[in-house]
Each structure stands twice: as structure tokens, then as C-alpha cells.
Amino acid sequence: MTHIIPGESEGIESALRRFKREVSKAGVFQDMKKHRHFETPIEKRKRKEIAKHKQRRKRFRF
């Protein structure tokens, strides 16, 4: 669980911005999107194959 301790003279806006940055670094949003609905083993395999092909294409582009 991500948490921050706001400074004594820190405003709520900056504390909220800092919290959002920490949550994004921890990958909470990506995890939520991944677990939003059930993924069958076939769908999971297809998703991983597509990611592998994208990574391979990106590597050989330069």
C-alpha cells in the first residue's frame, strides 16, 4: 500500500500530486486494469504473444 506523510507547511494539492506520482510508480493503476475482468488462458496467451512481437519489433527497429 502506498502512503505519504504530508509536510507541515505542504499544501493539500502538492501532497495529492505526490501521492498520485507514488501510486503510478507502484503500478497500482496497471494492476487494476489487468484485473478488471477475468482473462481466459487463451486470451492471456494471445496478449503475451502480441507483447512479445511488439518488443521484438521495437528492438530491431534501430
Instruction: Give residue limits of the domains in the chain.
Output: 12-60
**Which DSSP letter does residue 37 get?**
S
Is residue 62's pLDDT more than 70? no
Give per-residue pLDDT as tens, 6-60.
Answer: 999 999 999 999 999 999 999 988 888 888 889 899 999 999 999 999 999 988 8
Q: What is the pLDDT of residue 60?
A: 85
Residue 62 Cα distances to 34, 50, 54, 56, 58, angstroms: 30, 20, 14, 11, 8
